[in-house]
Amino acid sequence: MTATFDRAAFPVLIGDIGGTNARFAVIEDPGAAIGELPIVQTASYRTIEDAIADVVIARVEAKPRSAMLALAGPIAGDRVPLTNCHWVVEPKKIIERFALAEMILLNDFEALSLALPDLGPVDIDPIGGGAARPDGTRIVVGPGTGLGAGALIHARGTWIPVPGEGGHVDLGPVTDRDFALWPHLERAHGRISGETLLCGAGLVRLYRGICATDGATPVFSRPSEIAAAGLANENAQAAETLSLFAAYLGRFAGDLALVFMAHGGVYLAGGISARIAPALKSGAFREAFLDKAPHRALLEGMTTAIIVKSNAAHAGIAAFARTPTRFAVDLAGRWWKA
């Protein structure tokens, strides 16, 4: 689809579909607030259509005329499987079942990037120094069920989102401690990528690797347990897990900042970032972000922060739905009409 998208058909169903949770909402008209709906656990429904029917259609008075969904995974073709979820999104089926006029699919971190220009001081929790240039390129990174990343570039008077699967780039050892740990780390798909360690399951992999290296018996099996024990400093291996998680996330974020020259800032999204904020602000994240010789001084000028705004992806989708011409979103192969 190469036509210009300049007006959404309201009411608009919006959704942020992750590996574990799906968040739906309805915007009745361009000036209306986002009507948030109960969070859905993807494991609770066989298909996304069943979830929409139960959580959206059965609950709202203003039935949606269009849909804009942000998905955790690459979008290609008329049948889109999610990376860390059993749901398969088939826009033509959804349009037919719910009598929609059109449907647009976005990458989940593309949707998050669309929210970045409107974030104010109350929406972020800064980590370290630096300052954001108003029209500078911005990066969003988020460890959750997986590891997502996206960029937002300002050019020719508009914001251009750059979706991708950056969480799957390789992650390698740097320090002596890393080299001791790496042989003990469980690999995903035969390698250690950013997502192997920088996600919920990655916390567990990292913790188990530290225990194996130290000759200690693991006592925790869930990310929440490791995070809680690490934040409370109740367990040495859990505490180191959070410290290294913060450092590795800082390295990854710093790499992206260099690739895109992120003078607009690097922003951390997702539930994990907010829950382990004290660990991220303890110094390990920012130091690893800056440790990019010979360009430390360059990175010192870039701000880093945690997004604390709730449902930021919804805010990004809503911004696009209300004023599509504000953004240059490439909808080729991602826009379906009835």
pLDDT tens by residue, 290-321 = 999 999 999 999 999 999 999 999 999 999 99
Rg of the chain in Å (alpha carbons):
20
2 has pLDDT over 50: no
pLDDT of residue 84: 74
CA separation for the pair 321, 50 (Å, rounded): 24
Pairing of strands 304-307, 265-268: parallel
Backbone dihedral region of 73: left (phi > 0), alpha (psi from -120 to 50 degrees) or beta? left
Q: Minimal CA–CA distance to 64: which of 92, 35, 31, 87?
A: 35
pLDDT tens column, 206-247: 999 999 999 999 999 999 999 999 999 999 999 999 999 999
When pLDDT is averaged across residues 92-119 and rounded to a whole number, the result is 95
- The 3-state secondary structure of the chain reads CCCCCCCCCCCEEEEEECCCEEEEEEECCCCCCCEECCCEEHHHCCCHHHHHHHHHHCCCCCCCCEEEEEECCCCCCCCEECCCCCCEECHHHHHHHHCCCEEEEEEHHHHHHHHHHHCCHHHEEEECCCCCCCCCCEEEEEECCCEEEEEEEEECCEEEEECCCHHHCECCCCCHHHHHHHHHCCCECCECEHHHHCCHHHHHHHHHHHHHHHCCCCCCCCHHHHHHHHHCCCCHHHHHHHHHHHHHHHHHHHHHHHHHCCCCEEEECCHHHHHCHHHHCCCHHHHHHHCCCCCHHHHHCCCEEEECCCCHHHHHHHHHHHCHHHECCCCCCCEEEC
CA separation for the pair 20, 84 (Å, rounded): 8
* Identity of residue 13: L
Backbone dihedral angles phi then psi of residue 115, each to the nearest 5 degrees: -85, -15
Q: Using alpha carbons only, give the angle 314, 316, 319 rounded to the nearest 5 degrees.
A: 110
CA separation for the pair 266, 268 (Å, rounded): 7
pLDDT, the chain, mean: 94
pLDDT tens column, 16-29: 998 889 999 999 99
148 near 141, Cβ under 8 Å?
Answer: yes
Q: Which two tokens stand for residue 326?
A: 């504000």
Q: Minimal CA–CA distance to 329: which of 81, 68, 20, 14?
A: 68
pLDDT tens column, 144-203: 888 989 999 999 999 999 988 888 999 999 999 999 999 999 998 889 999 999 999 999
- Residue listed under structure tokens 């607030």: 33
143 has pLDDT over 60: yes
* Identity of residue 201: A
Give the chain's domains with CATH numbers.
Answer: 12-108+329-337 (3.30.420.40), 120-308 (3.40.367.20)
Q: Sorting pLDDT into bands at 50, 70 and 90, what band is 3? A: low
CA separation for the pair 289, 323 (Å, rounded): 34
* Identity of residue 230: G
Q: Minimal CA–CA distance to 71: which of 43, 23, 108, 24?
A: 108
